[in-house]
Amino acid sequence: MEKTLNKVVNSSVVTFDLEDLYPKGERITYDLKMNLFQELILREKDFREFVKNHDWKQYEDKFVNIVCSVDAIVPMWAFMVVVSNIQPYAKKVVIGTSEELESELYRDIFQTFDWQQFEQSKVVIKGCSKIQIPNYVYGEVTRRLAPIAKLIMFGEACSSVPVYKKPKK
């Protein structure tokens, strides 16, 4: 009987799973809609009163994104006031969508990540994930790996699509 070889296990391909870098912690969206009068306008006096009395500690150790989900003109200073009150408690706070929050979290991680571990490697950026990885993250990983990796692929080690191949000199 012939022995079956697992070519994936025996290959020199390195799998880069972005889910392994995913920061653990609760995500919360703060919607300024709740601070608007009839979901149309921000009344400064009412807003300031809310800010003074709101329990900002509830955002402790959470990742928070701040949006306004209705079509209203909200002055930028209102977003800034919310940031300044959440910031002492939250792990991270951004003005923007939940996808922008996730992108910002990965951006922070990538600043100190050891990219040199992939030098001259064949890298598969894992495609299937239990969490939603923003498109920005895949682009940023490709941008950072292209100068150092030999080959970049996307998908799974057993079924990947070539993305980049270092030119031969």
The residue among 65 and 10 whose pLDDT is bigger is: 65
What is residue 10's predicted lDDT score, i.e. its pLDDT?
42
79 in a domain, yes or no?
yes
Q: What domain range is 161 assigned to?
A: 7-23+117-165
For the sheet with 63-67, list strands across it: 27-31, 63-67, 92-95
| Residue 88, C-beta contacts closer than 8 angstroms, at least 6 positions apart | 56
The residue among 169 and 3 whose pLDDT is bigger is: 169
What is residue 4's predicted lDDT score, i.e. its pLDDT?
42
Per-residue pLDDT, averaged over 144-156, amounts to: 95
Q: What percent of the chain has pLDDT over 70?
A: 93
Q: Is the pLDDT reported for residue 139 higher than 50? A: yes
Q: Are 39 and 78 members of one domain?
A: yes
Q: Pseudo-torsion of CA 144, 148, 153, 154, nearest 10°?
A: -20
Q: Are 19 and 31 members of one domain?
A: no
The model's confidence at residue 11, banded by pLDDT at 50, 70 and 90, is low
**Distance set, CA 3 to CA 6, 123, 159 (Å):** 10, 27, 22
Q: Are 18 and 47 members of one domain?
A: no
Q: Domain count for the chain, please give it.
A: 2
What is residue 163's predicted lDDT score, i.e. its pLDDT?
94
Q: What is the pTM of this model?
A: 0.85
Which of 148, 153, 151 has its CA nearest to residue 119?
A: 148
pLDDT tens per residue, range 92-130: 999 999 999 999 999 999 999 999 999 999 999 998 878
What is residue 45's predicted lDDT score, i.e. its pLDDT?
97
Average model confidence (pLDDT) for the chain? 92
104 in a domain, yes or no?
no
Q: Is the pLDDT reported for residue 1 higher than 70? A: no
Final residue of a domain: which of 52, 72, 90? Answer: 90
